[in-house]
Amino acid sequence: MKNAEKKQQKIFSSEKEFRRISSKFSEEGRIILHLGDSCGFLKTITSGIINLVVTSPPYNIGKEYETRNMIDKYLEQQEKVIEELIRVLDINGSICWQVGNYIENGEVFPLDVYYYGIFKKFGLKLRNRIIWHFGHGLHAKKRFSGRYETLLWLTKSDKYKFNLDEVRVPAKYPGKRHYKGEKRGQLSGNPLGKNPTDYWEFVVQDWDNGVWNIPNVKSNHPEKTIHPCQFPVELVERCVLAFTDEGDWVLDPYCGVGSSLIAGLMYNRRVIGCDKESRYIEISKERLRDYFNGVLKTRPLGKPVYKPSGREKISQMPIEWKSKDDY
Ligand SMILES: C[S@@+](CC[C@H](N)C(=O)[O-])C[C@H]1O[C@@H](n2cnc3c(N)ncnc32)[C@H](O)[C@@H]1O
């Protein structure tokens, strides 16, 4: 087949895929993207069908898409959503709940601590409290600047999926050998790499920070949209690979611009997303169309986070701050 024909066929099949997006849940569906309130939408999903819930809920911090409430009221509302999520979750399924802090009058309320209590009340079991570290963000004046958020990985039962081999990362010392005992001299690692641990370093929305303007770092963020708190797709990719198999259902009840759906589709999972903001749903559709057409830019899973070498002009002490002794 000639190249142009091949390309056309790809676009045709991509459009066909794109047209399979439905706004209503159906057990036969593959991509469901719903505009509306998540609590109401979840009621339309069959019980026990979802293999992975992966999401970042609103933090109640007054972002453009939320109204700030007292923390108790906010958690009360979230509890209703969580109850529905647990109902739709498969007995072997997982929930990945990614949150940061809620701040009131300068006091920090670590949201994962509050959420843990809710999940525990419903009988879920915590498997990891993952630290998601990122290098840049707002600079605090009256406390240390926050540079991590957490992701609670919880399961509905003790029989849960965990595909560690799918998410191993290159070992630092693959040539390391046992130095004593029966295995002396044998390689001690795993040829597939090492466990990625519960400390994840994925690039966050550096594009939010005007202060961070090293051009080649910015160009490391090909996923930017207008959403103020977008997931890096690679963060969801790791969850999808570790906690689900091909054909499984991945659900994000607060899907924003569709990052979780993209990560699920990349590995042939069935995906469901819901968001109450039409502008984000429209961007999700655009991103899905780009994905099917092979033009969506995402940061590849496992690509090392850029670290300045110290030789860049921006990494050097500005002349105004140097003392005479430095000359
Ligand atoms: C932290 S953001 C999630 C962003 C998402 N992870 C992404 O990558 O784009 C939370 C999202 O929840 C949505 N949201 C807030 N309350 C909602 C509700 N009651 N029902 C559905 N979506 C809601 C907001 O519009 C926002 O996009």
pLDDT given for residue 141 in this prediction: 93
Nearest to 37 by CA among 58, 15, 18: 58
pLDDT above 70 (res 215): no
Whether the CB of 276 sits within 6 Å of ligand 1: yes
56 lines ligand 1 (CB under 6 A): yes
CA 291 to CA 18: how far, in whole Å?
9
Q: How many residues does the chain have?
A: 327
**Residue at 194: amino acid letter:** K
CB of 167 within 8 A of CB of 130? Answer: no
The verdict on residue 228 lying in a domain is yes
The pLDDT confidence band at residue 29, using thresholds 50, 70 and 90, is very high
Single out the residue of 97, 121, 132 nearest to residue 252, CA to CA: 97
204: confidence class by pLDDT, cuts 50, 70, 90: low
Q: Would you say residue 11 lies in a domain?
A: no
Given this model, what pLDDT does residue 223 score?
75
- 174-183, 226-235, 263-272: which range is least confident on average? 226-235
Residue 103 counted as domain residue: yes
Q: Which of 43, 276, 298 to mutate to test the pocket of ligand 1 (most atoms within 8 A of CB)?
A: 276
According to DSSP, the residues that pair with 109 across neighbouring strands are 102
Indicate whether residue 257 lines ligand 1 (CB < 6 A).
Answer: yes
Res 212: pLDDT: 35
Query: What number is the average pLDDT over the span 144-148?
Result: 92
Nearest CA to ligand 1 atom 18: 37
- Residue 208: per-residue pLDDT: 39
* Mean pLDDT of all residues in 33-39: 97
The verdict on residue 6 lying in a domain is no
- The tokens of 182 are what? 């029966």
Q: How far does residue 209's CA lie from ligand 1's centre (Å)?
A: 21
In this model, does residue 41 exceed pLDDT 90? yes
**Cβ(280) – ligand 1 distance below 6 Å:** yes
Classify residue 213 as exposed, middle or buried by CB count within 10 Å of its CB (0-12, 13-18, 19+): exposed
Residue 13: inside a domain: no
Which DSSP state fits 208? G
pLDDT tens column, 229-249: 888 898 999 999 999 999 999
pLDDT for residue 229: 81
Q: Which residue has the higher pLDDT, 250 or 15?
A: 250
| Number of domains the chain contains | 1
CATH of the domain at 254: 3.40.50.150
The answer to whether position 322 is within a domain reads yes
- Residue 39's domain comprises 21-326
Q: What's the predicted TM-score (pTM) here? A: 0.88
Residue 298 in contact with ligand 1 by CB distance below 6 A: no
pLDDT digits (tens, 9 = 90+) for 83-132: 999 999 999 999 999 999 988 889 999 999 999 999 999 999 999 999 99
- Predicted confidence band of residue 291 (pLDDT cuts 50, 70, 90): very high
pLDDT, tens digit, for every residue of 310-322?
777 767 888 888 8
Domain-embedded: residue 142: yes
The answer to whether residue 7 sits within a structural domain is no
